[in-house]
Amino acid sequence: MNATTLRQQLAERGLAPNKRFGQNFLIDEDILDAIVDAAELTERDTVLEIGPGTGALTHRLAARAGRLVAVEIDKGLSGFLAEQFADNPRVEILNADILKTDQCSLFAEELSAGRGAVKVVANLPYYITTPILLSLLPKDDLFSRFVVMMQREVADRMQADPGSKDYGALSLAVQYYALPEIVTLVPPGAFYPPPEVTSAVLRLDRHNVPPVSVKDPDRMFALISAAFGKRRKTLSNAIAGAPQLQISAEQVRSALDQMNLDPNTRGETLSLSDYAALSDLL
Q: Which residues bind ligand SAM (CB under 6 A)?
A: 21-26, 50-54, 56-57, 71-74, 77, 97-99, 123, 125, 128
User: Distance of CA 18 to CAs 15, 24, 84, 192, Å?
Assistant: 9, 8, 21, 11
Tell me whether residue 24 or residue 234 sits nearer to ligand SAM (CB atom): 24
- Min CB(105)–ligand SAM separation in Å: 16
Cα–Cα distance between 279 and 276 in angstroms, integer?
A: 5
- Min CB(49)–ligand SAM separation in Å: 7
Tell me whether residue 56 or residue 142 sits nearer to ligand SAM (CB atom): 56
Phi, then psi, of 214 in degrees rounded to 5:
-145, 140
Closest CB to ligand SAM belongs to which residue? 51
Residue 137 sits at the vertex; the CA angle it makes with 28 and 161, to the nearest 5 degrees, is 80
CA atoms within 13 A on the CB side of 12: 7
| CB burial of residue 116 (10 Å; 0-12, 13-18, 19+) | middle
Tell me whether residue 23 or residue 234 sits nearer to ligand SAM (CB atom): 23
Does the N-terminal peptide bond of residue 131 adopt cis geometry, omega within 30 degrees of 0? no
Cα–Cα distance between 19 and 94 in angstroms, integer?
A: 20
- Min CB(12)–ligand SAM separation in Å: 17
Phi, then psi, of 182 in degrees rounded to 5:
-75, 125
Tell me whether residue 124 or residue 212 sits nearer to ligand SAM (CB atom): 124
- Min CB(217)–ligand SAM separation in Å: 26
Tell me whether residue 18 or residue 273 sits nearer to ligand SAM (CB atom): 18
- Min CB(65)–ligand SAM separation in Å: 15
